[in-house]
Amino acid sequence: MDVDELLELLGQLDREVLENFIIGLYLSNPDLEKRVESLALRSEPEELVKSLKKRIQSLKRGRKYIDYRESFAFSRELLFLLNDIENGLKISAPGKVVDLVRLFLETAPAVLNRVDDSSGAIGEVFRDAVLVWLEAAKASNNQTVDWLEEVYSLYQQNDYGILDPLLPNSDILLSEKQLKQLAWRFESELRKALKQKTEPGLINMASLHCRCALGQVAEALHDPELYERSVLIDSPQPNDLQKEGIVEMYLRHKRPEGALPWLEKPWQERFEGRKGSGPLLTFVEKKQTSLRIAP
């Protein structure tokens, strides 16, 4: 039976029958208990917020280790919580969605420290939450909040990589002017970090953090030149992997002319094969043909 058929048949049932069925599920299935409660509380947003906060707090207080086999069920539990936050409040109180998702994201270190997330399923839920936060912040239309500062502050907590979607998608929330201000901030911090002395053999983590951030803001701005600069500030002679990233950025934003100077440089043999195939090869061949027939 497909979903449309099911909906049609359910629509023909008496309300009392459906209510009794839901109560039966609630009493017999602990996994559904919290979801049924969230559904029932949608008409009372303040009570729903309290209920959701308790569920989030229980995540942070949890101590039980979750092994690989259990991680999939746990990731579904996290996803259900995220869905209950988003779907339960996005119309009645989008500002509360912003607050609750922020609290949810703040549980990530505690959660990831006690799970085997080899599959990446749990981390993926937190990465989905980042996009929910951006969309909810936009929907809240709260002009009293400095959203640029909020994005910047949230990104500083990206120790586990779960906030990787934040800056590349920050154009959902921030204006072009704000994004350029954010880029300037990260570029300034990058140049400052590069002046700091680092012990031989150690990575300058501060510069790496700022360089990645600047490149991700370039994604949000759809600005290949800024991405290129984010690489060259730190690596004036970029390696082939970095060159490939620059090329892909130009091509992704339909700026092949910016990719050509990098494609014409010598690359290591293993990268030569990659740049000489697919869309890169097609572009190079077309460019070479146009140069040959030019008057």
pLDDT per residue as tens digits for the range 202-243: 778 889 999 999 999 999 999 999 999 999 998 999 988 899
Which of 24-28, 104-108, 193-197, 286-290 has maximum average pLDDT?
104-108
Q: What is the pLDDT of residue 198?
A: 76
- The type of residue at 185 is R
The two tokens of residue 264 are 């014409």
Q: Is the pLDDT of residue 190 over 50?
A: yes
Calculate the average pLDDT of the chain: 85
Q: What is the pLDDT of residue 291?
A: 41
Q: Determine what percent of the chain is predicted with pLDDT higher than 70.
A: 78
pLDDT per residue as tens digits for the range 133-187: 999 999 998 989 999 999 999 999 988 889 999 999 999 999 999 999 999 999 9
3-state secondary structure of 66: strand
Looking at per-residue pLDDT, the higher value among 266 and 233 belongs to 233
115: closest CA among 157, 68, 61, 81?
68
| DSSP states along 14-33 | -HHHHHHHHHHHHHH-HHHH
Cβ burial, residue 101 (10 Å; 0-12/13-18/19+): buried
Predicted TM-score (pTM) of the model is: 0.83
pLDDT per residue as tens digits for the range 84-99: 999 999 888 899 999 9
Q: State mean pLDDT over 38-42.
A: 69
245: closest CA among 257, 259, 256?
259
Q: What is the pLDDT of residue 29?
A: 62
* Per-residue pLDDT band at 32 (split at 50, 70, 90): low
Q: What is the pLDDT of residue 10?
A: 62
Q: What is the pLDDT of residue 182?
A: 97
- The type of residue at 288 is Q
Which of 6-10, 203-207, 244-248 has maximum average pLDDT?
244-248
Q: What is the pLDDT of residue 295?
A: 37
Q: State mean pLDDT over 102-112.
A: 94
* Per-residue pLDDT band at 294 (split at 50, 70, 90): very low
Asked if 240 and 268 count as a contact pair (C-beta separation under 8 A), the reply is yes
Q: Is the pLDDT of residue 276 over 90?
A: no
Looking at per-residue pLDDT, the higher value among 270 and 233 belongs to 233
Q: What is the pLDDT of residue 126?
A: 96
Q: What is the pLDDT of residue 219?
A: 96
Cβ burial, residue 257 (10 Å; 0-12/13-18/19+): exposed
Q: What is the pLDDT of residue 205?
A: 86
Q: What is the pLDDT of residue 90?
A: 87
Helix residue spans in the chain (DSSP H): 3-11, 15-28, 30-40, 45-61, 68-89, 94-106, 108-112, 121-140, 147-155, 176-194, 205-221, 224-234, 240-252, 256-263, 269-275, 278-293
Q: State mean pLDDT over 6-23.
A: 65
Considering only 32-36, 77-81, 203-207, 265-269, which range has the smallest mean pLDDT?
A: 32-36
Q: What is the pLDDT of residue 26?
A: 61
